[in-house]
């Protein structure tokens, strides 16, 4: 299936050819946007938003539900696009399409509850007999820059709350996976989105920087810390929401349900071939269960079937491109050279990296020193929960963490002491509900996504006192 995005740029602009990460076949192309077109897109978004800002919550919810309906009607087509351009298994791609619908519908629901409050000004001595009405107004034009790993749902996490709050959106998807975003824009037009309210520009880092420097009112970015900092600097005083990745741990304690913990570790680490921000990057096993857990883990890993992502039988597809595969391969080799032991996998076949398990790692092993986007489970053993928590907290990231235990005291300790944005109990760090705040601290980002909080993040507070 050959896919072509809408032609939003001049014919003289270069094209980005999108190729399958699995076999290199040509999937489609997009035309790179020029500076003039980025400027024009932001200007037309501004014009559309000026009319849309007075829309009612009912009208916004109707638009978002209409887009969700269009996604549902084209679910298998969209799943095929995601599978082809990202290399996700077709089952993973279908799940993303399902989640994108949820994100938009929850955003529409949130539009009806963007409530303010009334505060009395006479609550202190000398106060006046006046009331302050606090409301939330649209920020204006949202610039949205999205990564390759969830090309549909992460865009909906920016689009849904932005529209619910009364804003316009100019989005720039990853050049590695731009086709699902382009199709979403077509479906939005079919769903009745006013012209200019949601637009796509295409290109690499230079286009993202040009969008950040444009007269937008808020920049929402998902990607790496270096790119995030560059965009933040380029955007000046514009408000920024940034999800910048993580090096997330999963802790398994002696009283844990080992079968469920094994299934979670395997499922969360090998989904999208390990290319999720909140995937299990470091698996902390208490020494009392380390041997038994590892045996169970290896049996589960052996059953994972990598291969052609379009096949219903495939459990794990390739990483996004050859460069990503080489990086994962190099980090595995460097970690083994440092004394770690290879328990499973470890080999690369083009862009397919075998499901890999390493143990005996130092805390500064290359595979866990930096966030690694690849299907590698890296085991660290521990006895002291305080020491394990301190080790995680010493890292640069603080996105999410998972813990498996039924000990309430331990749940309280991990929840209180871990320096992360979210703690998942008897779940993996990659768990996310679309309406719940999601994001981290330190190098993991600024602000939060998740429909209920993002709609506030994408609004301005206005106070009227009379």
User: Could you report how far apart the first and last alpha carbons of the chain are, in Å?
Assistant: 61
Q: Residue range 237-264: average pLDDT?
A: 97
Residue 11: what pLDDT? Answer: 41
Q: Residue range 414-438: average pLDDT?
A: 96
Supply φ then ψ for residue 365, to 5 degrees. Answer: -60, 140
Q: How confident is the model at residue 8 (pLDDT cuts 50, 70, 90)?
A: very low
Is 277 known to be catalytic? yes
Say whether pTM exceeds 0.85.
yes
Percent of the chain with pLDDT over 70: 97
The DSSP line for 97-144 is HHHHHHHHHHHHHHHTT---EEEES-SSTT--S-EEEEEEEE-SEEEE
Q: Which long-range contacts (CB under 8 A, 24 or more apart) does 41-45 make?
A: 41/8, 41/170, 41/199, 41/201, 42/141, 42/143, 42/170, 42/211, 42/214, 42/215, 42/216, 44/195, 44/196, 44/199, 45/141, 45/168, 45/169, 45/170, 45/196, 45/197, 45/199
Domain boundaries for CATH 3.40.605.10 within the chain:
3-244+444-465
CB atoms within 10 A of CB 466: 7
Q: What is the pLDDT of residues 365-415, one digit of tens each?
A: 999 999 999 999 999 999 999 999 999 999 999 999 999 999 999 999 999
Q: How confident is the model at residue 113 (pLDDT cuts 50, 70, 90)?
A: confident
Residue 208: what pLDDT? Answer: 98
List the Cα angle 120/122/123 in 5-degree steps. Answer: 85
Q: Residue range 138-158: average pLDDT?
A: 98
> Of residues 240, 277, 354, 427, which has the active-site annotation?
277
Q: What is the pLDDT of residues 326-368, one digit of tens each?
A: 999 999 999 999 999 999 999 999 999 999 999 999 999 999 9
Q: Residue range 442-459: average pLDDT?
A: 95
Specify the fold of 249-433: Aldehyde Dehydrogenase; Chain A, domain 2 (3.40.309)
Lowest mean pLDDT among 9-23, 64-78, 228-242, 342-356: 9-23
Residue 429: what pLDDT? Answer: 96
Is 240 known to be catalytic? no
For residues 78-109, b (16+ Cβ closer than 10 Å) or e, as one string? bbbbbbbbbbbbbebbbbbbebbbbbbbbbbb
Locus of tokens 């095929």: 80
Q: Please say if the pLDDT value at position 9 is more than 50.
A: no
Residue 382: what pLDDT? Answer: 97
Question: Two tokens at 245?
Answer: 């990745």
Q: Please say if the pLDDT value at position 6 is more than 80.
A: no
Distance (Å, whole) CA 249 – CA 50: 45
> Of residues 37, 96, 243, 354, which has the active-site annotation?
243
Distance (Å, whole) CA 375 – CA 359: 14
* Residue of 13, 64, 388 lying closest to 210 (CA atoms): 13
Domain boundaries for CATH 3.40.309.10 within the chain:
249-433
Q: Please say if the pLDDT value at position 4 is more than 80.
A: no
CATH superfamily label, 3-244+444-465: Aldehyde Dehydrogenase; Chain A, domain 1 (3.40.605.10)
Q: How confident is the model at residue 126 (pLDDT cuts 50, 70, 90)?
A: confident
For residue 243, list its beta bridge partners: 222, 445
Question: Two tokens at 48?
Answer: 């559309």
Q: What is the pLDDT of residues 33-82, one digit of tens each?
A: 999 999 999 999 999 999 999 999 999 999 999 999 999 999 999 999 99
């Amino acid at each position: 299936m050959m896919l072509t995005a809408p032609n939003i740029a001049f014919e003289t602009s270069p094209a980005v050819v999108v190729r399958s990460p699995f076999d290199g076949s040509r999937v489609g192309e997009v035309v790179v946007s020029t500076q003039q077109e980025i400027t024009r897109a932001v200007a037309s978004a501004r014009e559309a938003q000026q009319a849309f800002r007075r829309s009612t919550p009912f009208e916004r919810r109707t638009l978002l539900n209409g887009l969700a309906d269009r996604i549902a009607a084209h679910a298998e087509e969209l799943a095929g696009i995601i599978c082809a351009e990202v290399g996700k298994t077709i089952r993973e791609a279908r799940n993303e399409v399902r989640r994108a619908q949820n994100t938009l519908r929850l955003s529409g629901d949130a539009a009806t509850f963007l409530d303010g409050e009334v505060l009395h000004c006479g609550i202190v001595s000398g106060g006046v007999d006046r009331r302050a009405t606090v409301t939330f107004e649209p920020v204006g034009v949202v610039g949205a820059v999205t990564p390759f790993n969830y090309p549909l749902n992460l865009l909906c996490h920016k689009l849904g709350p932005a529209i619910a709050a009364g804003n316009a959106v100019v989005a720039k998807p990853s050049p590695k996976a731009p086709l699902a975003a382009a199709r979403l824009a077509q479906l939005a037009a079919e769903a009745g989105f006013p012209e200019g309210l949601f637009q796509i520009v295409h290109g690499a880092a230079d286009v993202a920087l040009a969008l950040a420097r444009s007269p937008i009112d808020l920049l929402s970015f998902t990607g790496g810390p270096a790119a995030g900092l560059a965009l933040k600097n380029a955007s000046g005083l514009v408000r920024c929401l940034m999800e910048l990745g993580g090096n997330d741990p999963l802790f398994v304690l002696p009283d844990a349900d080992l079968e469920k913990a094994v299934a979670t570790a395997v499922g969360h680490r090998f989904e999208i071939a390990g290319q999720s921000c909140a995937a299990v990057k470091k698996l902390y096993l208490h020494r009392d269960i380390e041997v038994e857990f590892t045996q169970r883990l290896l049996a589960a890993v052996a059953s994972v079937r990598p291969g052609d992502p379009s096949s219903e039988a495939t459990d794990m597809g390739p990483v996004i491109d050859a460069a990503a595969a080489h990086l994962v391969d190099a980090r595995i080799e460097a970690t083994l050279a440092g004394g770690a032991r290879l328990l499973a996998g470890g080999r690369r076949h083009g862009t397919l990296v075998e499901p890999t398990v390493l143990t005996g790692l130092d805390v500064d092993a290359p595979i866990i020193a930096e966030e690694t986007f690849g299907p590698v489970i890296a085991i660290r053993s521990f006895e002291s929960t305080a020491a394990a928590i301190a080790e995680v907290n010493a890292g640069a990231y603080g996105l999410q963490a998972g813990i498996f235990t039924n000990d309430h005291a331990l749940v309280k300790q991990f929840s209180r002491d871990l320096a992360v944005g979210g703690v998942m109990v008897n779940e993996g760090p990659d768990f996310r509900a679309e309406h719940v705040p999601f994001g981290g601290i330190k190098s993991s980002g600024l602000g939060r996504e998740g429909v209920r909080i993002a709609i506030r993040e994408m609004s301005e507070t206005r106070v009227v006192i009379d």
